[in-house]
Structure 1
Amino acid sequence: MNANFDWSARLPLYWQLIRGDRPIGTLLLLWPTLIALWWAAGGVPPPGVFFVFVVGTFLMRSAGCAINDWADRDFDAHVERTRERPLAAGKISPQEALKVAAVLAGLAFLLVLPLGWRVVAWSVPALVIAATYPFTKRFLPVPQAYLGVAFSFGIPMAWVAIRGETDAACWTLFAANFFWTIAYDTEYAMADRPDDLKLPVHSSAITFGRWDVLAVFLCYLAAFALWARAGILAGAGAPFLVSLVVAAGIAAYHLELIGTREPARCFKAFLHNNYIGLVLFAGVVLDLWRA
């Protein structure tokens, strides 16, 4: 390490690189993972497992952000919302971003080692998918579908960590989260569409075109139907069903926001998905507490 390296100046830039100041991505990744932990455990999961998944979620999302900015370093400077990111603005180097990503991913991998070889085996494809997602924007018409898989991997990992295997409830929850991810990330893509249309990248907002709002509605519809089915398979009761109704009302508000297709309102809808995850998790916790 260079003796003149100024950590006090670099750390705030690294914090911005991994979106430490914008935790929405970590929260959207965390809620379904927590739901999986609580359902798999039938209540409060073991503290050690809870710690691993909470910290691991933060580390993997942070590593993903660093890789994403490295992959998009030639695009972000041309997008209004991302042009001030440290790498796009030239405040850190591409090599620094890769080193940050490698360190965080390595820490996440070390964190899961005590949970056994089954969880470790699941962590490998999870890491590969997370690392390759940024590049899918070059060739997949709907890269949000790939992200849906990446953002759902915590569910089977949580199930395996608690029960040693997956089951129908686990995979139904996985499918629900897959469609939810496409819904909220399409809202995110709608906010960036004016800039993305000028770049050689794909997004669901571009691919769906004038059917974007309908596509978001259908993805929400699929997600809620699958959440309901997962709840039935997990033996959930009234509190979870009530949380589904409340969350559906929140989703309806999102559809109203994105109906105008104004970037600021679309981005607000994306951010607001945190409340869907929070409400559903609260429903799961209350339901299991009641039981």
Structure 2
Amino acid sequence: MTDHVADAPPDNWVDRFMPRPWRPYARLMRLDRPIGLWLLLIPCWWGLVLAQIAAGGGMPNLWYGLLFLLGALVMRGAGCTLNDLADRDFDAQVARTRSRPIPSGQVSVKAALAFLILQCLLGLVILLQFNWPTVVLGAASLILVAIYPFMKRFTYWPQVFLGLAFNWGALVGWSAIHGEIAWPAILLYLGGIAWTLAYDTIYAHQDKEDDVLIGVKSTALKLGAASIYWIAGFFIIALILIETSLWLAHAGLLAHMGVASAALHAAWQIARLDIDNPQNCLKLFRSNRDLGLLLLLGLLLDTLIR
């Protein structure tokens, strides 16, 4: 039995500091790989801050920001736990994933199910702190969370379903302030989906050989050698949709400068992408945290100076 997951960064904080009995559950939540937390959380914060801009500006609701952080932590963990339960037989066949807690025997299926339920209950407690339209909207995301792990069996576009789930927070962030959904939030959400198509296609190129062997699908396999052009297109669509959402929310110059900074980052990724180099793909995938934060910084500065 291993005490390290092969696809986790070496010397991550879970391996170094987490008490040994807790480590398998921390790994189920992907606490040793925080990039997924960032990519789930950032659209929540985008929606929250853009809603504040549309409301006239000022300091965003920090309590809501903290709730989104806690909610993203718990629900990303729940999604990863469900994914590992669904993929445990596939994971056991792939060198990069067979050391994960369930296929390696560190956590039983029953224990993982119990842990999944616990995380969902904690997520519900967090969600109930918001207004009722936001509670209903947040609860609806569970449908997307539940179906995503199975999509790679049926479609070459599972990244679409990941985008639908991972960017739902853009709608929830807006609703937390306004109690309803409006076009700026919808376009921000659609832009986030296109962004996810870009970064997760990059990620999927790490696994394309194993995916062929075990019979699962991805945009990396569908798009093949043309992926770089599609990824560039996904980034362009994402940035256009997000920029349009900012105009509709009457955002100012600093917010638009955030989009411009994100565009430069996307161009940097395209210029350096090597779809046949797994290390390169992983590095660029992780760099999308910075793209998202550049956009968030522009939004924050815009609302704070109003």
TM-score normalised by L of structure 2? 0.89
For residues 210-234 of structure 1, give each alpha carbon's deviation from its aligned partner in whole angstroms, at most 9, with x where no partner exists: 2211111110010011111111112
1:17 corresponds, among 28, 31, 38, to 28
Q: How many angstroms apart in 1 are the aligned matches of 2:117 and 2:110?
A: 11
Q: Is the contact between residue 148 and residue 181 of structure 1 (CA under 8 Å) also seen in structure 2?
A: yes
1:109 corresponds, among 115, 124, 127, to 124
Aligned length: 285
| % identical equivalent positions | 36
Tell me the secondary structure at the aligned position of residue 101 of structure 2: coil
Q: How many angstroms apart in 1 are the aligned matches of 2:85 and 2:79?
A: 10
Q: How many angstroms apart in 2 are the aligned matches of 1:200 and 1:119?
A: 38
Check 1:108–1:22 CA distance in 2 against 1; reply closer, same or farther (3 A cut): same
Matching residue of 2:47: 36
* Deviation (angstroms), 1:184: 0.5
Matching residue of 1:27: 38
Matching residue of 2:257: 242
For residues 95-120 of structure 1, give each alpha carbon's deviation from its aligned partner in whole angstroms, at most 9, with x where no partner exists: 22222111111110121113232122
1:186 corresponds, among 201, 212, 220, to 201
Opposite residue 290 of structure 2, the aligned amino acid is Y
* Deviation (angstroms), 1:274: 0.6
Q: How many angstroms apart in 2 are the aligned matches of 1:41 and 1:243?
A: 16
* Deviation (angstroms), 1:9: 4.1
For residues 118-158 of structure 1, give each alpha carbon's deviation from its aligned partner in whole angstroms, at most 9, with x where no partner exists: 12211222012112210111102200001110011111112
Q: How many angstroms apart in 2 are the aligned matches of 1:122 and 1:230?
A: 20
For residues 72-101 of structure 1, give each alpha carbon's deviation from its aligned partner in whole angstroms, at most 9, with x where no partner exists: 101112223322211122211122222211
* Deviation (angstroms), 1:46: 2.7
Structure 1, unmatched stretches of 5+, are 1-6
Q: Is the contact between residue 52 and residue 303 of structure 2 (CA under 8 Å) also seen in structure 1?
A: no
Q: How many angstroms apart in 2 are the aligned matches of 1:283 and 1:110?
A: 31
Opposite residue 255 of structure 2, the aligned amino acid is F
Structure 2, unmatched stretches of 5+, are 1-17
Q: Is the contact between residue 119 and residue 157 of structure 1 (CA under 8 Å) also seen in structure 2?
A: yes
Q: Greater relative contact order: 1 or 2 (C-alpha under 8 angstroms, separation 6 or more)?
A: 2
Check 1:260–1:35 CA distance in 2 against 1; reply closer, same or farther (3 A cut): closer
Does residue 126 in structure 1 map to residue 146 in structure 2?
A: no
1:65 corresponds, among 80, 83, 88, to 80
Opposite residue 39 of structure 1, the aligned amino acid is L
Q: How many angstroms apart in 2 are the aligned matches of 1:14 and 1:267?
A: 23
Matching residue of 1:223: 238
1:164 corresponds, among 171, 179, 182, to 179
Q: How many angstroms apart in 1 are the aligned matches of 2:284 and 2:129?
A: 38
Runs of 4+ in 1 over 4 A off after TM superposition: none
Q: Is the contact between residue 202 and residue 275 of structure 2 (CA under 8 Å) also seen in structure 1?
A: no
* Deviation (angstroms), 1:255: 1.4
Opposite residue 62 of structure 1, the aligned amino acid is G
Q: How many angstroms apart in 2 are the aligned matches of 1:157 and 1:66?
A: 23
* Deviation (angstroms), 1:198: 0.6
Opposite residue 218 of structure 2, the aligned amino acid is S
Check 1:8–1:31 CA distance in 2 against 1; reply closer, same or farther (3 A cut): closer
Opposite residue 304 of structure 2, the aligned amino acid is W
Tell me the secondary structure at the aligned position of residue 140 of structure 1: coil
* Deviation (angstroms), 1:239: 1.5
Q: How many angstroms apart in 2 are the aligned matches of 1:280 and 1:168?
A: 19
For residues 174-200 of structure 1, give each alpha carbon's deviation from its aligned partner in whole angstroms, at most 9, with x where no partner exists: 010010011111111011111111112
2:192 corresponds, among 158, 177, 191, to 177
Q: Is the contact between residue 63 and residue 101 of structure 1 (CA under 8 Å) also seen in structure 2?
A: yes
Does residue 278 in structure 1 map to residue 293 in structure 2?
A: yes
Q: How many angstroms apart in 2 are the aligned matches of 1:155 and 1:117?
A: 17
Q: Is the contact between residue 239 and residue 287 of structure 1 (CA under 8 Å) also seen in structure 2?
A: yes
